[in-house]
Structure 1
Amino acid sequence: MSVLSRTVAALRLDAVGGVLLIGAALTALIWANSPFAASYEALRTWSFGPEGLGLRLSAQAWAADGLLAVFFFIVGNELKQELVHGELRDPRRAALPVVAAIGGVVVPALVFLAVNAAASGEAAAGWGVPMATDIAFALAVLAVVGRRLPAPLRTFLLTLATVDDVCAVVVIAVGYTSGLNLAALAGAAAGLAVWAYLQHGRGRAVTAVRRVLPAWLLYGPLAVTIWALAHACGVHATIAGVAMGLLMRTRPRDGEPEPPSQRAEHALRPFCAGIVLPVFALLSAGIPLSGAGGFWSGTVTWGVLAGLLAGKPVGIVGAAWLTARLTSAHLNPRLAWTDIAGVGVLGGIGFTVSLLIAELSYTGQTHLTQAKGAILLASAAASVLAAVILGVRGRRLATA
């Protein structure tokens, strides 16, 4: 096996991608707070792209909105496979992570508002900041520390974080967007309809097109078009990736060795782990830590910290537990509530979407810096605490 083949095979392992992601994030943080911080900021804010199409974006925006859409496509695709063939076929099991995600969105927002109830000015405007879980970082931490944990736990986190992200997109659209571009939204929906037809249609025309054109030439331009229209809507464009992933066909037809969903994941996962996620982390994680005036005395700081570190686990675990007690929904037999507690703490890794909502919430530099610093601190603390909880759980399972 060649070096390239071994590298590609290694990049298909979650743990390898997780290490690269975390390493890139640490590099960014050190770079942004070093004597070379100006070069980092110049790279992060470098703008390129077709201005006439509204796509002249900064490198950071291209990474967060563009490259990350590939990751979300893989997430949506994996969820579709679980819904059709795997853990989530049973609605009673699928209900728990969905309800847990909703609890993990509502409770942190209420906690933030309670902390900032008496604050003046725009402080309370950041109620959406602690609502979002960064699915990329959460999965990376689980991949690094969770090798001994039950496989259904990853599916639980994947479902929870995806629903969480959809909720965050809705929050941005409703609470932090001045208006939606309905024409672009309709165009994106039409593009998704074409995508679904190409995946599932059985007519002679679509069959002939699929046979003549290679998959990358058939779906690549369409995917870019759908993404661009979703971006023009005014909401986080990564939702287009989730939608396309959920529309993938998961069953092979006559003459196919494997379905399109598996082929796409096999081709894209190494690219995602080796390029998409590390580049995203490198361009997003560099938050300057200096100049946070009144950081520890700001209600925004404590609202974000309390929302992510307390509101998230309480909302996730509490909603899941109440649903299991009051309905027929139940955990997978291989999971314990300790596992869900660890996932609840992982939910406190806010980062990407939280940073985006912070920038939409605050125009004043003081509140913005407090929010960003609190997001960074809470995400780091949640990562460490979740690693401890899940690491202890994994060792107990290994010796049982």
Structure 2
Amino acid sequence: MTERSTPRLFSRGSWPEASRVADILRKETIGGALLLAGALAALVWANSPWSESYFALTDTKVGPAALHLDLSLAKWAADGLLAVFFFVAGLELKREFVAGDLRDPRRAAVPIAAAVGGVVAPAVIYLAVNLSAADGDGRGWAIPTATDIAFALAVLAVVGRHLPSALRTFLLTLAVVDDLIAIVIIAVFYTQDLAVLPLALSLLPILAFGFLTHRGVRSWWLLLPLAFTAWGLMHASGVHATVAGVLLGFAVPVRARPGDPSAGLAEHFEHRVRPLSAGVAVPVFAFMAAGVAVGGLSGLGAALTDAVSTGIVIGLIAGKVFGILGATYLVSRFTRASLDEDLSWTDVLGLSLLAGIGFTVSLLIGELAFGADSDRGEYVKVAVLVGSLLAAIGASAVLAARSRVHRRIRESEEVDADADGIPDVYERDS
């Protein structure tokens, strides 16, 4: 076997994929900044002399009681706005595997294996910590398994601008697959009272939504009522309503209809809905969910020494590193693939740390596991915030150093673009 035919991990992908991921990173940088601003505003308000007004706001109920939708604003953010976020995640995942570089099973195997490892290892670590502690509680085992797409991509966009596009695609795909696994976990393990009839009925508007979009229909006055009906029935079934968002995303066609020169509706909806998700849905959820009254240093110490909090923090940092780095290494060993020549395992370490930013979905699972108003629920918020912050700091240190290395490598290459706008290095690889 020649060196050229040796399988490579994170080899350079296609130019369309690289440009698409770069566009997503630009959008998510703004979304990540807004998410962080929302979380900080909630923390400051919840620990200010006016904290009661913050909790009064999040507990304010709105909606029709006759339809059992008289929910608090915090609940609307978790169940409603995050459905928009998961709709975009569903679109992204389907598009990646149908039309992206990851339609090649060899490329798809690495981020999928890494996502699975990044779910299993944190869950095992959390359970090990809590089962060995007298005051442990295993209900929160899924909290450290999640990766926050917006936050992680925002950090990557700031500190990893010169990282190869294959690494950025890897993180994006890993995070989306991770979120898909998280939504399955929520549906299976955090559904307490299942109503079969509403669940079955929710599939009807989803199928109608898919039928219309496959026919090329993009009229909001037809699609939005179907989407909201699917969401409402899913909510009534007892399954977390964000599952409807993922299923609706999967229902949208990626490829255009035969004879249609335009792109499929998945790209159209992603361009329309991603700004709403990154700029409104996720930041508002962060504002509604991140507010926790710490109670000074003593309160912070009590929160972080709790077994649940310890399991979350260690799971988000060590669990993600062991799971993602370990799974990627195992793929390389079993397939006899080696890293692309310009990369090192330090790059993978940095991305593994970055995936430890749980935040949005971790807070959601924490509320489902312990409730938003319980002591343990408050500890979960502190632990997720601290663990995500430490993961972001660690990843930033590693990836900033590696970004400087890759910048020097790129400057040594001939990357000029011709009249077609495609860098020469991609044309040489084609």
Q: What's the TM-score once normalised by structure 2's chain length? A: 0.80
Equivalence for 2:347: 339
Equivalence for 1:348: 356
Equivalence for 1:143: 157
Counterpart AA for 1:348: G
* Cα distance change, pair 385–397 in 1 and its aligned pair in 2 (3 A): same
Q: CA deviation at 1:378?
A: 0.3
Alpha-carbon distance in 2 for matches of 1:247, 1:99 = 25
The one of 70, 74, 85 aligned to 1:56: 70
Alignment identity in percent? 49
Q: Map Cα deviations across residues 316-338 of structure 1 (whole Å, 9 max, x no partner).
A: 11112212221377877876533
Q: Map Cα deviations across residues 220-262 of structure 1 (whole Å, 9 max, x no partner).
A: 1111112222222323322322222222222234455443222
The one of 185, 207, 221 aligned to 1:217: 221
Alpha-carbon distance in 1 for matches of 2:45, 2:324 = 34
Preserved CA contact (<8 Å) 2:142 2:185: yes
Equivalence for 1:3: none
Q: Map Cα deviations across residues 102-126 of structure 1 (whole Å, 9 max, x no partner).
A: 1111111111121122323562332
Counterpart AA for 2:354: L
Preserved CA contact (<8 Å) 2:47 2:294: yes
Cα-Cα RMSD: 2.8
Alpha-carbon distance in 2 for matches of 1:147, 1:190 = 44
Alpha-carbon distance in 2 for matches of 1:160, 1:198 = 30
Q: CA deviation at 1:351?
A: 2.2
Q: Does 1:306 align with 2:320?
A: no
Q: Does 1:162 align with 2:168?
A: no
Q: What's the TM-score once normalised by structure 1's chain length? A: 0.85
Structure 1 portions without partners, runs of 5+: 1-8, 202-206
Q: Does 1:327 align with 2:341?
A: no
Counterpart AA for 1:72: F
Alpha-carbon distance in 2 for matches of 1:217, 1:256 = 25
The one of 74, 78, 84 aligned to 2:88: 74
Equivalence for 1:87: 101
Equivalence for 2:12: none
Counterpart AA for 2:271: H
Equivalence for 1:240: 244
Preserved CA contact (<8 Å) 2:198 2:233: yes
* Cα distance change, pair 349–12 in 1 and its aligned pair in 2 (3 A): closer
Alpha-carbon distance in 2 for matches of 1:278, 1:117 = 34
Aligned length in residues: 382
| Secondary structure in 2 matching 1:79 | helix
| Secondary structure in 1 matching 2:142 | helix
Q: CA deviation at 1:130?
A: 1.7
Counterpart AA for 2:206: L
Q: Map Cα deviations across residues 33-62 of structure 1 (whole Å, 9 max, x no partner).
A: 222222221222221112222222221222
Counterpart AA for 1:182: V
* Cα distance change, pair 190–320 in 1 and its aligned pair in 2 (3 A): farther
| Greater relative contact order (CA < 8 Å, ≥ 6 in sequence) | 1
Counterpart AA for 1:282: F
Alpha-carbon distance in 1 for matches of 2:339, 2:97 = 16
Equivalence for 1:31: 45
Alpha-carbon distance in 2 for matches of 1:232, 1:327 = 46
* Cα distance change, pair 286–333 in 1 and its aligned pair in 2 (3 A): farther
Counterpart AA for 2:291: G
Counterpart AA for 1:387: S
* Cα distance change, pair 271–174 in 1 and its aligned pair in 2 (3 A): closer
Q: CA deviation at 1:297?
A: 3.5
Preserved CA contact (<8 Å) 1:96 1:330: no
* Cα distance change, pair 244–175 in 1 and its aligned pair in 2 (3 A): closer
Alpha-carbon distance in 2 for matches of 1:333, 1:89 = 23
The one of 115, 128, 138 aligned to 1:124: 138
Preserved CA contact (<8 Å) 2:25 2:157: no
Equivalence for 1:372: 381
